[in-house]
Amino acid sequence: MIGRAVDRFRIVARLGQGGMGSVWRAEDTLLGRPVALKLLAEELAGSEKARRRFLREARAASSLDHPCVATVYGSGEVGDLVYIALALVDGETVADCAARQPFELGQGVRLGLAVAETLGHAHGRGVIHRDVTGRNIMIDRDGRVFVLDFGLAFMTDLSRLTSHETNLGTAAYMAPEIALGHDADPRTDLYGLGVVLYEALTGTLPFRQERAEGLLYAAVHERPEAPAARREGLPGWIDRVILRLLEKRPEDRYPDSDALIVDLRRSASAVSGLRVSHALVGAGTTHQVAAPRANAVALLPFRDLSATNSDVVEPRAAQALTEAVRAALGKAVGLEVISLEPAGEGPDSPPGREQARRLGARLLLEGSTRGAGDRVRLSYSLVEVANGAQVAGDTVDGTADNLFNLEDRLVESLLAALRAESGLDRETRRAGRDPQAHQSFLDAIARLRRTDDERSVDAGLAMLETLRHEQGDSASVWAALGRAYVTKFQLRSERSWAIQAAEVCQRALDLDPHAPEVFVTLAELHGATGRHEEARGAFERALELRPEYAEAWSGLSLAYLKSNRFVEAEEACRRAIALRPQARPHRPGAAPRSRKGFRSCIRGVHADRLDEALGEYGRSLEIQPTPDAWTGLGTVLFYMGRYEDSAEAFERAIALRPLDPRMWGNLASACDCIPSREARAAEALDRAISLMLERLGSNPGSAEDWALLAGWRADRGDRTQASEAIERALTLAPEDTSVMAKVAAAHVLLGEEAAA
């Protein structure tokens, strides 16, 4: 077979043999990519019924749009061969991994969650796997889980199982109802998942018979041994979960994948030390309290206690000093820093100690600045969260021209009190020894944080440009300047900003090759230019240097999301939330991509999680009503089918950011679903197109901008202009999966399904 062409696929090597036929590595000669080519077994290929069913099941598999399902590239018949071409997964099967070494508990739970979510996605679309086994689940080199062979096992029958040694594996995972000849339903797949989890965590299968007949008999009549009896140290709750999956009667198992996911998460979260996912803090009115962690310090923003607006310490300085202290603690060895919202702000804002207690911090750090005349006073207090007792505190006084040294003294005193090494290089922390330059640096940082206000960003950028010429050996200045350039690129989409950002980031790394904030800036630059894998690598490097860097975890979550790695994205996002639960979102929510035909699709968000997301966005809006938060809320409401509420949220986003074409595109999507608001939908769509054309007229624009414009043009029926926008988008980012998805949506709106 090697070298033979099957349609456009040329067979390169044999990968394996399954109950349905053989699997080969092949090359897609049209697109130049490797694929896995499945060929129907010769003895089945002669049956017209078998051929039809094989291809029908392939179509069912191709209907699944989930990151844990290998993409189906094509299927068909060539002479006496019936084939399915799928994405090639480079990795190991769960069976092989478990045989080498059983999974750690956390790894096993994450595997269970990934497979359960995948099965739930399939079951919701009427597809039952029927052959969930340790050899049909693979883990690639990046740790991603893939469930293979959806629907193909329907062809396997008992006569073939009992007569072929190669099917012993399939028999070991077979549910009792199938062994008895009954029909499969979603709970059949859950039984198979139970066997997979048993195997992953113990390295053995529940039943140890050597023949298929014995395995089938055991599945029907014998109760499996508890996993903990096979592997010492497994907790009782995982025994309970797995044994429920392995119940003989389907009605005694979990009713569906969602119920399993809820139980698995709840049980795992209740176990001290097992971080499958972090609790969402403050969602709704129920608060989950984390166990106190010895190295966790909760940081309240510094307060300005000046009697009047001082010329020495202006209100923004307290915010900037908070950032400086946070950065210093973030570099300290062995500390976990948790940022809190200002105590007492808002009618429902809890006191600092209560916030810290909920988040599992052992210590609470409060600080203040005070200015009077030419004098400055900086203070901090370190308090035991459990009893409110002060364990340390200090006050440093000085003159305005010595502000930076005062900050240094405060941080050093604090670190000494915490008995931790700072790991700081003074030369890289500051913008030079000139106090006026340092104050300008802090002011610039405060202005750059207001990314929704381009005038504020420009002011911060101008201050940093001046500092660069005055303090050319400061890595801090170069790193901040890189962040400013990236922000400008994100706002204006002008390539010159991206080029400058790359140059100054390299200069910052030359001065300090171990600065995590520079790697975060580089990662954001990579992400903004569509290089999501490089962005992921840079975020991971930042986290190697500073494991509790909340901003890096947040960015890594977005990078995973862009790569359709939703399980990892959620885990990274929860890490960020746990570290900085009160931080406002710095990216827009995932707004609807197009209007007609895609309203039920939201990638990476499952129906059972929308209420969670709704609560989180509501909490974010209580902290600060930003356009991005309103966009996120509107998006969740849209996918919940609450179109009136969604439109209202998008209107509020527009009120805060009226010149953003994306905001108008979102509003058009929501209003298009409301019969009485068709006129507003058309108006919003026209406005989105007009604003995007203005943006693209003043700069080249990003691939995502062109892809969005293509979708809007297609929706309005502007075929020629939509096609031109599609071409521009793909020219700018031919391998960006996010851009490809938008382009595919535009093709479908144009009636060009084949091109999609």
Annotated binding site: 38
Count helices and strands (H / E) in the chain.
32, 15
Long-range CB contacts (within 8 A, 24+) of 691-700: 691/659, 691/660, 691/661, 691/664, 692/661, 695/493, 695/661, 698/492, 699/492, 699/493, 699/494, 700/493, 700/494, 700/495
Annotated binding site for ATP: 38
Instruction: List, in order, residues 6 or more apart from 315 with CB less than 8 Å away.
Output: 304, 309
Q: Say if residues 179 and 158 touch (Cβ distance below 8 Å).
A: yes
Residue type (1 letter), 684: A
CB within 8 Å of 40: residues ≥ 6 apart = 20, 21, 50, 51, 54, 81, 82, 83
Query: Nearest Cα to 479, choosing from 451, 450, 445, 440?
Result: 445
Cβ atoms of 343 and 383 within 8 Å: the answer is: no
Count the alpha carbons within 13 Å of 665 in the hemisphere toward its beta carbon: 26
What token pair was written down for 638? 């849209």
The candidate with the shortest Cα–Cα distance to 560, out of 525, 585, 523, 596, is 523
Cβ contact 732:495 at 8 Å: no
Cα 251 versus chain centre, distance: 34
**CA angle (470, 475, 480) in 5-degree steps:** 85
DSSP-derived pairing of the beta strands 21-28 and 72-78: unpaired
Whether 702 and 710 have beta carbons less than 8 Å apart is answered as: no
| 550 DSSP 8-state letter | H
Query: What's 631-682 look like in SS3?
Result: HHHHHHHHHCCCHHHHHHHHHHHHHHCCCCHHHHHHHHHHHCCCHHHHHHHH
| Residue from 349, 355, 354, 369 nearest 624 by CA | 349
Report how far apart the first and last C-alpha atoms of the chain are (Å, whole number). Answer: 32
